[in-house]
């Protein structure tokens, strides 16, 4: 009987040790997820600051200027599309928001330069209603994120573990 209790005690100790290691692993993975989010925010801030410096002519990096020219071309195309949506809505419908977060912009291929003239977009046929931009717009803080199935907290789309509760996604 004592032998059985000793083995049961050892098994419980092993289980407790494994649970402790799992908890530590989950904490480290949560910390990694948090640091990944922080790094993404820092990159966004760095990009915005680089754009400001180029506009002020304090940075004269040719590659950075090319990237920002692509961003400007996308912004111009977005403005044209907003105007087309506004024209289709007519004066009776509410106006579109003044700005759509930059996170909604479509990714630009690094290899291909931006076209000098934006490609015209075909107007929708009269049978289909125009898609409102508000319905497809994603707030900047939600771009590139999804939600944890356990706690509902926002997580990176490529994350494997939730930074809040440590649940596997």
Residues 71-89: tens digit of each pLDDT: 888 888 988 888 888 888 7
- Number of neighbouring beta carbons within 10 Å of residue 65: 12
Phi, psi of 42 (to 5 degrees): -65, -40
Evaluate if residue 13 carries a pLDDT over 50: yes
- What's residue 142's pLDDT? 46
Residues 95-150: tens digit of each pLDDT: 545 554 444 444 444 444 444 444 444 444 444 444 444 444 444 444 566 888 88
Query: What sign results for the dihedral spanned by CA atoms 132, 135, 140, 145?
Result: negative
Q: How far apart are CA 40 and CA 136, in angstroms?
A: 22
Evaluate if residue 62 carries a pLDDT over 50: yes
Q: Which residue has the higher pLDDT, 131 or 18?
A: 18
Q: Which of these, 155, 157, 158, lies nearest to 30 by C-alpha position?
A: 155
* Residue 152 token pair: 């509902």
Q: Are strands 145-147 and 154-156 parallel, antiparallel or unpaired?
A: antiparallel
Element (H, E) at 74: helix 62-89
Phi, psi of 114 (to 5 degrees): -70, 145
- What's residue 124's pLDDT? 47
> Per-residue pLDDT averaged across 35-63, rounded?
85
> Per-residue pLDDT averaged across 29-58, rounded?
86
- What's residue 103's pLDDT? 47
- What's residue 151's pLDDT? 83
- Number of neighbouring beta carbons within 10 Å of residue 110: 8
> Per-residue pLDDT averaged across 35-48, rounded?
86
């Amino acid at each position: 009987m004592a032998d059985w209790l000793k083995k049961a005690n050892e098994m419980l100790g092993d289980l407790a040790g494994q649970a402790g290691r799992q908890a530590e692993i989950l904490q480290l993975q949560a910390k990694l997820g948090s640091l990944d989010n922080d790094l993404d925010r820092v990159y966004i801030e760095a990009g915005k600051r680089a754009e400001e410096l180029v506009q002020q002519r304090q940075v004269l990096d040719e590659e950075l200027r090319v990237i920002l020219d692509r961003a400007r071309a996308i912004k111009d195309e977005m403005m044209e599309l907003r105007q087309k949506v506004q024209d289709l809505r007519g004066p009776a419908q509410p106006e579109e928001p003044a700005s759509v977060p930059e996170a909604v912009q479509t990714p630009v291929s690094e290899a291909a330069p931006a076209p000098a003239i934006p490609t015209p977009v075909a107007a929708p046929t009269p049978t289909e209603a125009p898609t409102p931009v508000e319905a497809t717009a994603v707030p900047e803080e939600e771009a590139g994120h999804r939600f944890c199935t356990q706690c509902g907290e926002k997580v990176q789309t490529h994350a494997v573990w939730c930074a809040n509760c440590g649940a596997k996604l």
